[in-house]
Structure 1
Amino acid sequence: MINPVFLRTFCTLVETKHFTKTAEQLFITQSAVSQHLRKLENLLDEPLIQKTEKGFVLTPTGEQTYQEAKKVVASLQAFKEKVTTDSEHVGVVKVMSPGSIGLRLYPQLLALQTQFPELIIHYQFAPNNSIVKALQQGDIDIGLVTEHANSSLMNFEEVAQEPLQLVLPSPIENLSLESLRQLGFINHPDGHHHANQLLKANFAEFTHIKDIKENGFSNQIGLILTPVSIGLGFTVLPQSAVASFAEPEKIHIHELTKPSMEPIYLVMQNKKHTAKRLLFVHNKIKTLLKN
């Protein structure tokens, strides 16, 4: 295999037409220039230059070698620039969040991609535990979760809070835990987490959502409230998920005595070096959620 360093030296020699100038331009010694030329000639088993009183001229093989070597050197330079250039606005960024956050965030990140077409956004909806696992395995770059996990490998930053809402099929006067038991629970990927948080704060006798019968489950954020709207049960969701439901007139948001705010954490792996595009999207997400 031909060493690309020899090709670069040869091309520079042809272009400068001088051994000393070649050495100065490449920051090597003149003897190294001669050595690179000799090794290249030995590999090709052909002379590449013919010395004259004024310097040298290329042999036919030397001329052909120069034409091909130029392409190789240019290609290697382009390769180096491509892999070492770290741009804020170029490359793929993989983001994962619960659906309620994604409903707010994904359209705004698409607007960002429209502004910077070479910044490619991959967005997935998933529950908290799946997001943390994906981050640990390096399958995604940025995660948004509502539960803090103890891990020295990841950095959790609280960037916002969102109210949780108790959603019923219709208003209930003097709502009690027994009323909710009779209704039944409509579960979703983060349903237990949300329900436990909100109901514990408001019902002294509440222990765990598992004690209330489950009347349905959906992992599609836009469909979780559909069984609620037809009277099959109640659920607990973040405010943004409730606000996105297509038929709000068919559900009732019950105001509890003690509001419950759900934290939103922005999570990335702890690394010494983080690509600029990841930091750019990370900071953009932080700004969008804080606003």
Structure 2
Amino acid sequence: MDTELLKTFLEVSRTRHFGRAAESLYLTQSAVSFRIRQLENQLGANLFTRHRNNIRLTPAGERLLPYAESLMGTLQLAKKEVARSQQHQLLSIGATASLWEAYLTPWLQTLYQQRPLLQLEARIAQRHSLVQQLHERRLDLLITTEQPKMEELTSHLLGNFSLALFATQDEEQTERPFIKLEWGADFHQHEGRLLSNEQLPILTTTSAHLTRQLLLTTGGCAFLPRHWEKTYPLLYVQQHTPPVIRPLYAVWLQNSDQQALIRQLLKTPIADML
């Protein structure tokens, strides 16, 4: 449906006068009448009752009115968003929940302090979903612990971070309930070697903060960022299990039109790694 027809319908319903609607729309009165007839033909119903100096909406027109207002409002919002995208570079960054919570949120805070007008979109999803979005050009930058082995992608090592086995009590115990936190597929292999007797997790999650909070409830243990020992005094590092060092990569398409901005942002280091 031609949105100009809806626009004309709304103006006539507002002014209740074809002549005044024509003046407001910078059209002739015959053009306004023609548009209304077109709309009525498309919908198969009369929208106005026409009497001299007394134009009223029909029941069909009354029902159309809120939909027309909604459609035109949505169109105006869409135009504004498109205009904004032309004025500013909107960069989409994706990572798993655990990386956002442990390292990337403070990094974004630093970026916005440095660049108050920066516009970003932060996406939280599983790694395989984010890699697909990257290929489909629905994502500009992926932060991940595993380097994708694909020729069309550019990977940059941001550094390494340390994970430690935490519990909420200082006493060393060989057996505690275990919470399995998502740190990458290859980490699970390493994780299995560290746990005794093929211990099954009481919970599997992608959220580092959910894991931290449930340690208090369950008295369990989990691998969390090493620097959280200073941030959360109720957490204790289990010294019998050595820390695990993990790489952190930035990944983007080789021919991305956002490469310049990506490289600029990556000059700001991610804190609390090693």
TM-score tier by shorter-chain length is 0.5 to 0.7
Which residue is equivalent to 2:206?
A: 219
Distance 1:219 1:187, change over 3 A: same
Question: For residues 159 and 255 of structure 1, what CA distance do their matches in structure 2 show?
Answer: 27
**Does the 8 Å CA contact 1:169/1:231 hold for their aligned counterparts?**
no
How many residues in Structure 1 have an aligned counterpart in Structure 2?
Answer: 188
Of the three residues 261, 267, 273, the one matched with 1:277 is 261
1:139-159 deviations in whole A, cap 9, x for unaligned?
A: 211111111222112122222
Give, in whole Å, the separation in 2 of the partners of 1:268 and 1:147. Answer: 13
For the 8 Å contact 1:96–1:140, the answer to whether it is kept is: yes
Q: Does 1:98 align with 2:91?
A: no
How many angstroms does 1:267 deviate by? 0.9
Change (3 A) 1:243 1:197: farther
Q: 1:107 to 1:223 in 2, by over 3 A?
A: same
Q: Are residues 272 and 143 of structure 1, via their aligned partners in 2, closer, same or farther at CA, if it must alter by over 3 Å?
A: closer
Q: Does 1:260 align with 2:247?
A: no
2:132 is matched with which residue? Answer: 133
2:189 partner amino acid: N
1:186 and 2:179 equivalent?
A: yes
Counterpart of 2:22 in structure 1 is none
1:216–1:227 CA contact under 8 A, matched in 2 = no
* Residue type of the alignment partner of 1:214: P
Larger radius of gyration: 1
Structure-2 separation of matches of 1:242 and 1:128: 27
Say if 2:122 is the partner of 1:123. yes
Q: CA deviation at 1:288?
A: 3.5
Distance across 2 between alignment mates of 1:156 and 1:117? 27
Q: Percent identity?
A: 16
Correspondence 1:1-291 to 2 at 5 A = 90-103=88-101, 104-173=103-172, 175-176=173-174, 179=175, 183-190=176-183, 193-198=186-191, 200=193, 202=194, 211-240=198-227, 244-245=231-232, 248-249=233-234, 251-256=235-240, 258-271=242-255, 274-284=258-268, 287-288=269-270
Give structure 2 stretches of 5+ with no counterpart.
1-84
The residue that corresponds to 1:12 in the other structure is none
Q: CA deviation at 1:184?
A: 2.9
| SS of 1:223 mapped into structure 2 | helix
- Could you list the runs of 5+ residues in structure 1 that have no partner in the other structure? 1-81
Following superposition, the deviation at residue 108 of structure 1 comes to 3.6
Aligned-partner residue type, residue 245 of structure 2 = M
The structural deviation recorded for 1:216 is 1.9
Structure 1: how far apart are the matches of 2:126 and 2:115?
Answer: 29
Distance 2:223 2:211 in 1: 10
* CA distances 1:43-62 after superposition (whole Å, capped 9, x unpaired): xxxxxxxxxxxxxxxxxxxx
Question: Shift of residue 122 of structure 1?
Answer: 1.3
Asked if the contact 2:91–2:258 (Cα under 8 Å) also holds between the matched residues in 1, the reply is no
- Superposed displacement of residue 161, structure 1: 0.7
Shift of residue 256, structure 1, vs aligned partner: 3.8
